[in-house]
Amino acid sequence: MSEISASLVKELREKTNAGMMDCKKALAETGGDIAKAEDWLRKKGIASAGKKASRAAKEGIIASYLHMQGKVGVLVEVNCETDFVAKNEIFRDFVKDVTLHIAAAHPHYVSREQVPQDLIAREREIGAAQVQGKPANIVEKIVDGKIDKFYGTICLLEQAFIKNPELTIQDLVNSKIAELGENIVIRRFTRYAVGEEAA
């Protein structure tokens, strides 16, 4: 199977509202067939989760977690649409899992949209320097891959979930949206570690 093009991923994303990585995976699983990829997403409950993502999430909870006898602390705000879901045990267990993950995986941002452009530009520069001597189009592909990996280490939604590395945190969010029938948004978080310099 040839590389899935960014334009194909974008087209599927616009049709389904599903996350970029989910769209890429769906297209890879279905040989790049848009209609089959859309069905694949719907079967997984991801397309419907994507549609719910446009709905306002103004309820929710702020949760905290202390780890290693108070050496690491996390505060996170997770929003949903109704107070009913905010009090739901499934939602609260999900939020607890998110705090545990943040404590262990040390993300810096919720999503790639929050990463400062100057930081990405610097990473691109470093990535390009590491593959000097190759044709420009090859360098660009390699650097794009390195940037995706970089996002996967610093962005909460793109990190592999510590309890199940087969899932990203975004996959976990999507599964809870499908399960609870409401939009769920990890709004913000702060992670403290004793003796660590503030970012």
How does 117-140 read in b/e, with b if 16+ C-beta sit within 10 Å? eeeeeebbeebbeeeeeeeeeebe
Would you state the pLDDT for residue 157? Answer: 96
The token duo for 130 is: 């590491």
Would you say the pTM of this structure is higher than 0.85? Answer: no
Establish how many alpha carbons lie within 13 A of residue 153's alpha carbon, considering only the half-sphere containing its beta carbon. 7
Provide the residue ranges of all domains of the chain, joining segments of one domain with +: 6-52, 59-112+155-193, 116-153
Would you state the pLDDT for residue 1? Answer: 44
Would you state the pLDDT for residue 18? Answer: 73
* Cβ pair 178, 48 in contact under 8 A: yes
Strand partners, 77: 62, 188
Q: Report the SS3 class of residue 84.
A: helix
Given the DSSP bridges, would you call strands 164-168 and 185-193 parallel, antiparallel or unpaired? unpaired
What is the third-level CATH fold of 59-112+155-193?
Answer: Tetrahydropterin Synthase; Chain A (3.30.479)
CA angle 26, 30, 33 (to 5 degrees): 95
Would you state the pLDDT for residue 123? Answer: 92
Query: Which CATH number does the domain 6-52 belong to among 1.20.140.10, 2.40.30.10, 1.10.8.10, 1.10.940.10?
Result: 1.10.8.10
- For the chain (199 residues), the mean pLDDT of every run of 10, in chain order, is 75 75 86 87 67 71 89 95 93 97 96 94 89 83 91 96 94 92 94 80
Would you state the pLDDT for residue 87? Answer: 94
Would you state the pLDDT for residue 63? Answer: 94
What CA–CA distances, in Å, run from 119 to 112, 123, 125?
Answer: 11, 6, 10
